[in-house]
Amino acid sequence: MLGTNLEVSSIGLGCMGMSFGYAPFPEKKDSIAVIHAAIEQGVDFFDTAEVYGPYNNEEIVGEAIVGHREKVVIATKFGFNIVDGKMAGVDSRPETIRRAVEGSLRRLGVDCIDLLYQHRVDPKVPIEDVAGTVRDLIAEGKAKHFGLSEAGAQTIRRAHAVQPVAALQSEYSLWTRQHEAEIIPTLEELGIGFVPFSPLGKGYLTGKIDEKRQFEPGDIRGIIPRFTEEARVANKALLDVIQQFAERKNATPAQIALAWVLAQKPWIVPIPGTTKLHRLTENNGAANVHFSAEELQELTAASEQVKVMGARYTEAMEAATGL
């Protein structure tokens, strides 16, 4: 359960990689097959955004949910200026939000967006104006719930005072934990759910990406500091910790990493992304991996002994993109 009584499955599916960020991309029919398999396996929470592609990710999700609309909760996002098919900075002016929402509704083939996120905070637009615009869209029946992504604690509080926030989507995993200090306590205080993206560390925490891996053009990991060859070697220490617990729990490293995220709070719903059916099934199996309080403390403590090498994004990506 996220905030504002938004009930979703314990694990969602991040659809970004089906057409954005992690080239090469599968054929549309294969992505639709993964979404259908997710629905069959009990997943009802699907995450997309207008900027993924741009645009074609929402079209994939929209085509996949035909005949399944009543079974699924669809989250999408606004907040970027898109020029000639590329991101051109953040833009959350009310007129931009409205234009984005109309496009999203059309591409998704729905009358109402279940969870509408601001993709990134726009420093030029007061968050109260953003929240107020979404409040109006909810009143008009074009959206049901309001979300933020990668927002700070004070921004969350200001937005929540205008329109209750159902969820914050931000990066969180065993190797990205900066939100534990201030953000997660703020969410708990306000009754807001947390939707971690990249809960598997963009695939690294599965143990399947070694220092020999060559990333395709169009795969963002090829330019991320944490995925340099040197960093991949150094960060194996964290994989070793995860592997030890995988062996003890008769689980895979991916399942241990996801189960750790799930164990933090009952209102945390990770959205691992995949384009492969067997990975989908593996990820969903994490819901059946449980830790005792002692095991969870041991895993957390052991992971904290590892100093992760490399920033999660380049400085330019941190400043300018919605990944």
For 144, counting Cβ atoms within 10 Å of its Cβ (0-12 exposed, 13-18 middle, 19+ buried), the class is middle
Distance CA 215, CA 303 (A): 26
**Calpha distance 49→316 (Å, rounded):** 20
d(CA 102, CA 129): 18
- 9 in Cβ contact with 44 (< 8 Å): yes
Say if strands 45-47 and 13-14 run parallel, antiparallel, or are unpaired.
parallel
Sequence-ordered alpha helix ranges (H) in 19-150: 28-40, 56-64, 94-108, 127-139
CA-based angle 46:251:260, to the nearest 5? 60
Provide the b/e sequence for 32-44 (b: ≥16 CB within 10 Å): bbbbebbbebebb
Residue 52 annotated to the active site = yes
What are the strands, taking DSSP E only, across 122-183?
A: 143-149, 165-171
Question: How far is 80 from 86, CA to CA, in rounded Å?
Answer: 10
189's torsion region: left (phi>0), alpha (psi -120 to 50) or beta?
Answer: alpha
* 205, 171 Cβ separation under 8 angstroms: no
Selecting among 52, 117, 172, 204, the annotated active-site residue is 52
80-83 and 86-90 strand pairing: antiparallel
- HSE-CB at 61 with a 13 A cutoff on CA atoms is 33
In terms of Cα–Cα distance, which of 113, 140, 135 is closest to 50?
113
* Residues annotated catalytic, as ranges: 52
